[in-house]
């Protein structure tokens, strides 16, 4: 039996460790041939998300094949709107598509509260199975989308560059918008607490579209709900990753969460200045992994040195791209691991 690796838990608890733990957003799925082999046998991405045995298998692949210090459950942030009553499809090369969206009070009234063990049983089963299967080798991370990010999809019905329909609702129908955001927030709290009960040891909240909000909208619509989630979710340290929102890091630093994710646009020194008491996670530009081994190692060294010792979870500043060579990912991981010697 291998020694349990709890580096991530230690760092998130504020302890000193010989080196930062390392994992990658989107490490499960996308880049590994072993993942593609599983995926190619299936009708689509959602079948994988909804089949606990398979979600468990691809969640553990990067632990075995890449040597990361944590597993993150293979799933999708859009399971929450679906559980609330808005089903979606993932269309190859296009992205998610919701047939129905929320544009008025009547739409809102068709949504229902989420019972995780009922509506999201497949996630809970996958979590239990993966936790058992990991057997303590590395911590297991659960996750959810932040309310604003989920709101974006529920209002727009799919991806968008500007999310102007979603922002239009904030400006023109603030009462409706607040109610939808509150419902998502409540569902997310139940969902994350259920993930902890099912075995998640760390949680990450993805606010992927935080960058679409001005400081004013972020403050009014997003901050109170992020804070509520931080306060109501218990039993596992929480990492809040608000992509594109680094100008709001001063505000994010007021959140009672264990760590803040930093995107790859944010200068590390600025992040440390704006959020001095939080563990920070990130932030290598994923495109560095398109370079040579030497370039990957040098860039990783620079990143480690910019973050300095302690209070750092090494990661990319965004999800890994599908066409990245897994060997370059291994070089990144290896370079972080070598920093402990």
> Which residues of this chain interact with its own copies, rule CB under 8 A?
159, 161-162, 164, 167-168, 170-172, 211, 214-217, 244, 246-247, 264-267, 270, 285-288, 290-291, 295, 299, 318, 321, 323
Quick check: is 64 catalytic? no
Tokens describing residue 336: 């972080």
Whole-angstrom distance, CA of residue 166 vs CA of residue 163: 5
User: What would you measure as the largest C-alpha separation in the chain, in angstroms?
Assistant: 60
How far apart are the C-alpha atoms of 44 and 39, rounded to whole Å? 7
State the burial class of residue 292 (Cβ atoms within 10 Å of its Cβ: 0-12, 13-18, 19+): exposed
| CA 306 and chain centroid, separation | 23
Residue 219 is given by DSSP the state I
Which of 6, 76, 207, 331 is catalytic? The answer is: 76
> What distance in Å separates the CA atoms of residue 195 and residue 127, rounded to the nearest whole number?
7
109 is catalytic: no
- Three-class SS of residue 242? strand
**Residue 26 designated active-site:** yes
Q: Are strands 140-145 and 202-207 parallel, antiparallel or unpaired?
A: parallel
- Give whichever of 16 and 323 is closer to its own copies, judged by the CB atom: 323
Q: Residue 118 Cβ, how far from its own copies at the closest point, in Å?
A: 34
Q: How far is the CB of 292 from its own copies (least distance, A)?
A: 9
Q: Which is nearer to its own copies, 115 or 306 (CB)?
A: 306
Are the CB atoms for 21 and 11 separated by under 8 Å?
Answer: yes
* CA 139 to the chain's CA centroid: 15
| Three-state DSSP state, 88 | strand
Question: For this structure, is 76 an active site residue?
Answer: yes
Q: Which is nearer to its own copies, 240 or 271 (CB)?
A: 271
- Please report how close the Cβ of residue 283 comes to its own copies at its closest, in angstroms: 9
- The nearer residue to its own copies, 4 or 95, going by C-beta atoms, is 95
Q: Tokens 């563990």 belong to which residue?
A: 279
CB of 254 to its own copies, least distance (A): 17
Closest distance of CB 270 from its own copies, Å: 7
Active-site choice (19, 30, 167, 274): 30
The active-site residue, picked from 88, 153, 191, 221, is 153
Question: What is the number of residues in the chain?
Answer: 341
Residue reference for tokens 């679409």: 212
Extract the tokens encoding 57.
């298998």
Please state the closest distance from residue 212 (CB atom) to its own copies, in A: 9
Nearest-angstrom CA–CA distance, 175 and 53: 42
Cis (ω within 30 of 0) for the bond into 283? yes
Which residues are annotated as catalytic? 26, 30, 39, 76, 153
């Amino acid at each position: 039996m291998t020694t349990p690796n709890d580096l991530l838990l230690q760092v998130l608890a504020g302890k000193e460790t010989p080196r930062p733990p390392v994992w990658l957003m989107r490490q499960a799925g996308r880049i590994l041939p072993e993942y593609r082999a599983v995926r190619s046998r299936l009708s689509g991405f959602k079948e994988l998300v909804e089949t606990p045995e398979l979600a468990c298998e691809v969640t553990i692949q990067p632990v075995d094949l890449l040597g990361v210090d944590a597993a993150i459950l293979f799933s999708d942030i859009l399971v929450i709107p679906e559980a609330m009553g808005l089903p979606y499809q993932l269309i190859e090369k296009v992205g998610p598509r919701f047939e129905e969206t929320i544009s008025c009070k009547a739409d809102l009234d068709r949504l229902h509260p989420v019972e995780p063990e009922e509506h999201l049983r497949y996630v809970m089963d996958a979590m239990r199975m993966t936790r058992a299967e990991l057997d303590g080798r590395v911590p297991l991370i659960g996750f959810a989308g932040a309310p604003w990010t989920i709101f974006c999809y529920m209002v727009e019905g799919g991806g968008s560059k500007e999310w102007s329909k979603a922002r239009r609702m904030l400006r023109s129908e603030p009462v409706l918008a607040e109610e939808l955001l509150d419902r998502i927030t409540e569902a997310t709290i139940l969902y994350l607490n259920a993930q902890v009960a099912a075995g998640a040891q760390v949680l990450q909240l993805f606010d992927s579209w935080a960058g679409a909000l001005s400081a004013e909208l972020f403050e009014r619509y997003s901050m109170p709900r992020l804070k509520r989630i931080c306060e109501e979710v218990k039993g596992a340290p929480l990492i809040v990753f608000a992509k594109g929102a680094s100008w709001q890091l001063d505000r994010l630093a007021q959140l009672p969460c264990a760590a803040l994710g930093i995107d790859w646009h944010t200068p590390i020194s600025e992040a440390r200045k704006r959020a001095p008491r939080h563990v920070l996670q990130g932030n290598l530009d994923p495109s560095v992994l398109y370079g040579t081994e030497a370039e990957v190692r040098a860039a990783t060294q620079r990143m480690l040195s910019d973050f300095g010792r302690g209070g750092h979870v090494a990661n990319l500043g965004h999800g890994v791209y599908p066409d990245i060579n897994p060997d370059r990912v291994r070089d990144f991981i290896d370079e972080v691991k070598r920093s402990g010697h």
